[in-house]
Amino acid sequence: MSADDFIVTPWHVEGDIDYDKLIKRFGTEKISSELLERIKRITGEDNFMLRRGIFFSHREMTRILDEYEKGNKFFLYTGRGPSGHTHIGHLVPWMFAKWLQEKFDVNMYFQLTDDEKFFSKPNLTLEDTRKFAYENALDFIALGFNPEKTKIIINTRNIQTLYPIAAQVAKKINFSNTKATFGFTNETNIGMIFYTSLQSAPCFIEDKPVLIPLGVDQDPHFRLTRDIAPKIGKQKPALVHNIMIPSLEGPGGKMSASDEKGTIYTTDSPSEVKKKINKHAFSGGQPDIEQHRKLGGNPDIDVSYQYLRIFFEPDDDKLKTIYENYKSGKLLSGELKAILIEKINAFLAIHQENREKAKNQIDQFLFENK
């Protein structure tokens, strides 16, 4: 697959993604240095995910900030398609959403699309996706969201609220629209064809602008929503996109809940984390120690380094030291993996404890139909 042949859709990510080319392909806007400075000025904090380009692209985030500075609040919305257990890649937009919620003091809605995963995954029953929705909700709550300002929407549970909004959206979308956007065929089930209307519904659950932090692969759903919003008298949702989190096995795709070898789950034990990283994490190192000491490693393709950069080492000075030591050959691949293993296991120890507590908190977060 050539550099121009990467694939990014809501259901399939493949190839080595050139994010500048993806911005042009999707018609989004790169997060500029000016926008970074503006966010820093408003929030009083230089978020490491922004300054490192983990969140790299947006649609109309400037409009959200314009309204906020006029005294007009917005709300946040993100979600998860519950096709399996939560992995560490899922946490990236959720943690960023939590940061935004705290800095701007706004409401947050988290949608679990149990219906969509039932429609799109032939091997999953509706009971399966509902169970995964519950498990995924525990991971979301474990990150420390405020239940007074945060509600979890589960599609099959909250259809009474979602359907009247989705119906308005669906009336303005034809099969040609969805076919062009998602590549649907005559074999696609009608649940999938209608689903984008349901994913749009939380965008209009409050009569305020909405900002959606999400993986860039989900952008096509909301491209349609943005086209439809003015036609039903609503504001277009604004989006801020994160990069794809690579599989442990290296560039060429994203971490997937269905790929056990290439994925670190939030429920993995310390020994499982250690085994997966040591055995499967793609290395930018040399074939042997002698060559590595002489030639150094390539942190830009090394998955252990990338995970530290994306999520697990927020300190720029420490990250720079790791980068330089690995590139010079001073730090070996096994030593770099050991740093990541320690960081992930320290994070998961706290997360898993909070996840257990979330079982007694979930009722506080569930959205109640009105």
CA 370-203-257 angle, to 5 degrees, is 100
Q: What is the pLDDT of residue 183?
A: 86
Answer whether residue 65 shows pLDDT above 70. Answer: yes
Return the structure tokens found at 275. Answer: 């085994």
Return the structure tokens found at 168. Answer: 């308005």
> What number is the average pLDDT over the span 100-120?
97
Angstrom distance (rounded) from CA 100 to CA 64: 12
> What number is the average pLDDT over the span 174-189?
89
Burial 19-32 (b: 16+ CB within 10 A, else e): beebbeebebbebe
- Residues 6 or more apart whose CB falls under 8 angstroms from that of 271 comprise none
Angstrom distance (rounded) from CA 291 to CA 277: 22
The 10 Å Cβ neighbour count of residue 217 is 20
User: Max Cα separation, the chain?
Assistant: 67
Task: Report whether 358 contacts 138 (CB < 8 A).
Answer: yes
Return the structure tokens found at 215. Answer: 């993986």
Q: If pLDDT is split at 50, 70 and 90, which confidence band does 162 have?
A: very high
How far are the Cα atoms of 42, 76, 156, 357 from residue 159, in angstroms, in the given order?
Answer: 37, 20, 5, 27
Q: What is the pLDDT of residue 75?
A: 98
Torsion 281-351-87-251 (CA) sign: negative
Q: Mind spelling out the 3-state secondary structure of 87-137?
A: EHHHHHHHHHHHHHHHHHCCCEEEEECHHHHHHHCCCCCHHHHHHHHHHHH
Q: What is the pLDDT of residue 10?
A: 82
Answer whether residue 102 shows pLDDT above 70. Answer: yes
pLDDT in tens, 246-302: 889 876 666 666 567 779 999 999 999 999 999 999 999 999 999 999 999 999 999
For residue 367, give the DSSP letter.
P
> What number is the average pLDDT over the span 101-126?
96
Task: Report whether 224 contacts 197 (CB < 8 A).
Answer: no
Nearest Cα neighbor of 64 from 22, 119, 104, 115 is 104
How many percent of the chain have pLDDT more than 90?
A: 87
Task: Report whether 76 contacts 47 (CB < 8 A).
Answer: no
pLDDT in tens, 191-242: 999 999 999 999 999 999 999 999 999 998 899 999 999 999 999 999 999 9
> What number is the average pLDDT over the span 31-50?
97
State the angle between helix axes of 333-358 and 126-142 in degrees (0 to 180), rounded to the nearest 10.
Answer: 100
Domains and CATH numbers, the chain: 3-249 (3.40.50.620), 270-357 (1.10.240.10)
